[in-house]
Amino acid sequence: MTIRTFKAALVGSVFAAAAFAGTTAQAATASATASANILTQVSVTKDFDLDFGTIAIGTSGGTVTVGNTDNRTCGSGLVCSASAKSAAFTIAGAPNQLVGISIDPSVTLNRVTPTAGGASMSATLSTSVPTATLSATGGATFTAGGILTVANTQAAGGYQGTFNVTVNYQ
């Protein structure tokens, strides 16, 4: 091989290598769909407050239980009168959706009458259901009850406390 032929072969192979270096493998593509489901804001409204009724201290303190169906049990050291009432709530939201229901686990009731301050009682709280499926029209109801602890030295008067319930889509 002459030098001229060798140079021509060398230049040709450099061009061929450059041409192959620029070639890539064939690419593959796929498509996907992005989607979202937007629900109306869920809301909860109070229909009735939790009312333990009227309680008199008899031989000692004790507990008063108001169940989720307005039923009340008065401890043996107490005398209960007047009606008791479970708290009741209405949920509104997207039809047929599952919602979770949570409630503050306790509430402190502070004396508000005849004078405010000083005396308090506590109650543990529960709901009738931890979840609910909204109806075809987007509604549901639930109740809340509790167990109130009354001391044998509890000051006479009216007591009130506030608690929260929270409803979220599941």
Q: Cα 104 vs. chain centroid, distance in angstroms?
A: 11
Percentages of the chain per state (helix, strand, coil), in multiples of 5:
10, 45, 45
CATH number corresponding to 43-169:
2.60.40
Give 23-60 pLDDT, tens digit per residue: 568 999 999 999 999 999 999 999 999 999 999 998 89
pLDDT category at 22 given cuts 50, 70, 90 is low
How is residue 51 written in tokens? 């009312």
Res 122: pLDDT:
98
140/95 Cα distance (integer angstroms) = 10
Question: What are the residue boundaries of the structural domains of the chain, listed by start?
Answer: 43-169
Task: Give the CA distances from residue 30 to residues 27, 33, 35, 159, in Å, rounded to whole numbers and listed in that order.
Answer: 10, 10, 17, 66
